[in-house]
Amino acid sequence: MASFRVKTVGDDGYGRLGELDVPHGPVETPALFPVVNMIGGTTVKSGGVWRRMREKLIDKEHLQGIMFQAMSFTDYGVSPDNLNDFWRNQTFHERFDDLDAPVFIDSGGFKLMNSNTFGEAPEKGGVPNEWGLYTDPKSILGLQIDFGADIVATLDYPIPPKLKEEEQIERMNRSIDSAVECLEILDNPDLLEERFEINSQAADKLRKQKANGEEPAVYVALHGHDYETVNWYVGNFIDRVDKLDLDSTFEGFAIGSLVPLRDSVDVLVDIVQGAKDALPEARADEIGLHVFGVGGKQVGLLSLLGVDSFDCSTHMQTARYKKYLHPETWTHHELADLEEYLRSDGSFPCDLPNCRLCTDDSVGYDKLMEELSRDFTYDEVQERKANGEPIKSDYYALLARHNFEVYNEEMQYVRDAISDGQLLEYVIEFAREHDDIMKGLKQAQVRDKALRQDIEAIGAYDLLPGSTLTSDQVKLSEWNAGVDSSHDTQQISLEHSPNDFNIFSREYELPADKNVLLFIPCSQRKPYSESRTHSVLYNKLGNRTDDIHKVTISGMYGPVPEGCESEQPVLEYDYVLAKEDEDQIALVTDRVVEYLETYGDQFDVILGYVTSKTYRQVIEDAFETYGRGELFPRDPQALQLTEFFRNSNIAELLDYLDTYSGE
C-alpha cells in the first residue's frame, strides 16, 4: 500500500529526507521528476525528440521517477481508437522494457481547461465524444490507472494568473470535490464502470492492485496564488476527507498553477508556506508536498521550507530553442553564443558525471552545431535511421539531457546538504549568488520567525528582510504583502463564450487608407499589440504598417480588428484553440470567411502570417473558401510558435509586401 514518511530531518533543523513507497519505488525524497512524454505518437517508436529524450533518461539508475501529463497524447496525432486499443491495454512499464522508475501522472488539468472537446460528462449535461473521456475524476483516474501510474495527481481546475476572485473560489471548490471523488473511486473501483465500457479494464486493474496492496499513491492537486487561499484549500480538503469513512488515503499535496510564477520566487515561497502551515502537526511527517513545474535552482530554498518533490520540463523546452544551461551560472545560453564560454580545449563547461553531451567521447560543440544546423530531407532521415546513425532529434535530446543533468545535480547537492545538516548554510551561500533566491529567502522570514532568528544567529545580516538598500529592493511592506508591486492588475475570466464578442453584432467601420489586410493569431497577453509575437512582427514591418489593417484571429471570438483589442471581453478571455475542438474551429473559420466576404473587396492585398497549426488551418480554409489570400510563411520548417520569430519567415512576408508596393 502506498505511503509517505519522513525518515530524518537535517541536523540544522531544515530539509527532510523521506521515502514514498509506490509499486515501482521507493522514491527517495527530495526528488526531481523530469517530464517525459511517453506517448509521442501512435506507437512506442513514435515521438521524435521526445522519444530520443525518453530513451536517454528512463534507464538511468539515479532517476527517482518521471512525470507524465495524462492528456499530452492530444498533441501527437493519437486517434481515439489508437488510444483505447493500443495505449490503454498495457501499462507503460509493460510497453517500455527499460522503464523501471516510478511514473507520476498528472491529470492534465491545463490541457482540459483549454479544450471544449473533453467537457462535462453526458450525465451532467455534456456532449458525448468519441474519446470516451470527460473532465471528471472517473475519466482521468481511469486513464491514469490504465497507463500504470505509480503516483496520480487528482483532476484539478487550474487558476490562471489574474483570474477573478469569484472564479478562483469556484475552481478551487471543484478541485476539492474532484479530489474527494478520486479517493471514493479508489475505495470502490466499481464506480469506474458506471459510465462506459472502456473504464472496465481500469476498474479490473485497480481491483488487482488493491488486492496486492499496489494501488497508486494519491497527490491532491491544489491551487491558489497566495498564502491565505492555499492555506484555506488544504485545511478545507482535510476537513472534508476526515468526515468520510474511507479506507483510501492520500500521500501528499501537489501545488499547481505555479509555472507562470516561476520567476516570482517570493510568491512561490508564500504559497508553499501557506500549504505547509495548514498541515496538522501530528500528520505533517506523513504528507508529502510536491510543486508542479518548478525544479531548477529553486529546489534548495523550497526544500528548506519543506517541499519533498519537484518536476520540470524546462530541460526539453530550452533544448528546443538550442539553449545550453551553464552549470555554474544557471544561464541559458544560445548555442551560437556559447563559444566564448567554452574551455581552452574547445570543450563544454561541464563536468557532470551523467551528461552524455559534454563527456570526452561525446559529439563536441562543433559537431553539435553542425548537426543542429543541417536540414535533412525525408529520405536522408530514413537512410540514417536504417544505418543506425543519429538524426537531428538525437542531438536535441543530448542537449536536453545535459540541461536536465544540471537540475538533477542540484537536487543531489540539496540531498547531500540535508544529510550533512548544512542545508540552511547551503541556501544562504546560494542566495548570495542569485538575487531571485535571495528575494525568496527574505520573503520566507516574514512568516517564519524561527528561520529569521537562525539566519541572524549565523550572522547573515545581509539576508534579513529589508537589510539591503539597493535600488531594486522592495519595501518591507511589499514583502509582507507577498506580491511584487510591478505586477499589473488586469484580470482574466474563464466564463466568456464566443457570443461575448462578435464583430458582426456591432457597428464597425474599416480604417481609411489601408490597402493590406493582415491576419495574425491571438496571444495570451492582452492587449494583443503588447504581446511578444505581435510586437516583434510589427517592429520588423516598420513603416509598412501604415498600409496594414491588422485583424487578430481569436480562438474564442474569431476576427478581432486592432481597434477592438481593448474591449473587456477581449482583454479578459483566456482560451487557446485546440485541434480537438472541431466545433469551435468551424465557428472561428466561419467568422473569418464572413469577415472576408463583408470587407475583403476593400483591400488590394489579403495576407495571413501564422505558424501554429490550428490557427493556420483556420486561415488557410477561410482563404480557400473566399478565393483570395496569401499565407506566410509559405513552407515553415515546423508548425510551432518558434517559427513565428524565425527571421527568414518574417523576411518572406516583408519581401512580398515590398514587391507589392513596388508594383
- Cβ–Cβ < 8 Å for 629, 616: no
Residue 417 has pLDDT above 80, yes or no: yes
Q: What is the pLDDT of residues 161-190, one digit of tens each?
A: 788 989 989 999 999 999 999 999 999 999
Rounded Cα distance, 253 and 303, in Å = 15
For the beta carbon of residue 450, count every other beta carbon within 10 angstroms: 9
Q: Are 357 and 403 in contact (CB under 8 A)?
A: no
Cis peptide before 102 (omega within 30 of 0): no
pLDDT of amino acid 471: 25
The cell for 325 is 544551461
Report pLDDT digits (tens) over 438-466. Answer: 999 999 999 999 999 999 998 899 999 98
pLDDT by residue (tens digit) across 57-87? 887 777 899 999 999 998 888 999 999 899 9
* Mean pLDDT of the 223-235 span: 91
- Cβ distance 523 to 568 under 8 Å? no
Q: What residue ranges do the domains of the chain occupy?
A: 3-312, 323-433, 443-475, 499-662
pLDDT above 70 as % of the chain: 94
Looking at residue 163, the DSSP 8-state letter turns out to be: B
Q: Tell me, what's the pLDDT at 483?
A: 33
Q: Which CATH number fits domain 499-662: 3.30.360.10, 3.40.50.10630, 3.30.1360.200, 3.40.50.920?
A: 3.40.50.10630
Whole-number Å distance between alpha carbons of 267 and 280: 23
Judge contact between 496 and 572, C-beta under 8 A. Answer: yes
CB 365 within 8 A of CB 339: yes
Whether the per-residue pLDDT at 50 is higher than 70: the answer is yes
Taking 70 as the threshold, does the pLDDT of residue 481 lie above it?
Answer: no
Residue 310 has pLDDT above 60, yes or no: yes
- Reply yes or no on whether the pLDDT at 134 is more than 50: yes
- The predicted pLDDT at position 469 comes to 31
Kindly report whether the global pTM for this prediction surpasses the value 0.85: no
Query: What CATH superfamily classification does 3-312 receive?
Result: Queuine tRNA-ribosyltransferase-like (3.20.20.105)
Report which of residues 626 and 362 the model is more confident about. Answer: 626
Q: Which amino acid is at 456?
A: E
Radius of gyration over every alpha carbon of the chain, rounded to an integer in angstroms:
26
Residue identified by cell 545550453 is 324
Q: Angle at CA 349, nearest 5°, toward 56 and 421?
A: 80
Higher model confidence: residue 439 or residue 482? 439
pLDDT score, position 154: 97
DSSP state of 473: P
What is the mean pLDDT of the segment spanning 525-554?
Answer: 92
Place of cell 535571495: 438
Rounded average pLDDT over 143-147 = 95
Give the whole-angstrom CA distance, residue 431 versus residue 444. 12
SS (HEC) of 556-572:
CCEEEEHHHCCCHHHHH
Buried b (16+ CB within 10 A) or exposed e, 17-51: bbbbebbbbbbebbbbbbbbbbbbbbebeebbbbb
Q: Parallel, antiparallel, or unpaired: how do β-strands 323-325 and 332-334 relate?
A: antiparallel
Alpha-carbon span 413 to 329, nearest angstrom: 16
From residue 621, give the alpha-carbon distance in Å to each of 235, 551, 625.
51, 16, 6
Contact 161, 263 (CB under 8 A): no
The total of other beta-carbon atoms located within 10 Å of residue 200's CB is 13
- 480 sits in the region (left: phi over 0; alpha: psi -120 to 50; else beta) called alpha
- Taking only the tens place, the pLDDT of each residue in 569-619 is 999 998 888 888 999 999 999 999 999 999 999 999 999 999 988 999 999
Mean pLDDT of the chain: 89
196 band by pLDDT with thresholds 50, 70 and 90 = low
Neighbours of 321 (CB within 10 A): 12
Distance CA 559, CA 620 (A): 14
| Residues 29/288, Cβ–Cβ less than 8 Å | yes
* pLDDT over 60 (residue 284): yes
Judged on CB neighbours under 10 Å (0-12, 13-18, 19+), 287 is buried
**Unique residue bearing C-alpha cell 529569521:** 452
List 516's β-bridge partners, or say none.
Answer: 548, 605
Name the helix (H) or strand (E) containing 28.
Answer: strand 27-29
Reported residue count of the chain is: 663
Q: What is the mean pLDDT of residues 510-519?
A: 93
Q: What pLDDT is attached to residue 473?
A: 35
Q: Express each pLDDT in 20-45 by its tens digit.
A: 999 998 999 999 999 999 998 889 88
pLDDT at residue number 662: 53
Task: State yes or no: pLDDT of 429 exceeds 60.
Answer: yes
Q: Any idea of the CA torsion for 180, 181, 187, 193, to the nearest 10 degrees?
A: -170
Question: What would the grid cell of residue 231 be?
Answer: 492555506
As a whole number, mean pLDDT of residues 550-562 equals 97
Q: Which amino acid is at 69?
A: Q
Return the SS3 of 194. Answer: helix
CB distance 557 to 569 below 8 Å: yes
Name which of 366, 85, 21 is nearest 214 in CA terms: 21
558-561 and 548-554 beta bridge pairing: antiparallel
Residue 663 has pLDDT above 50, yes or no: no
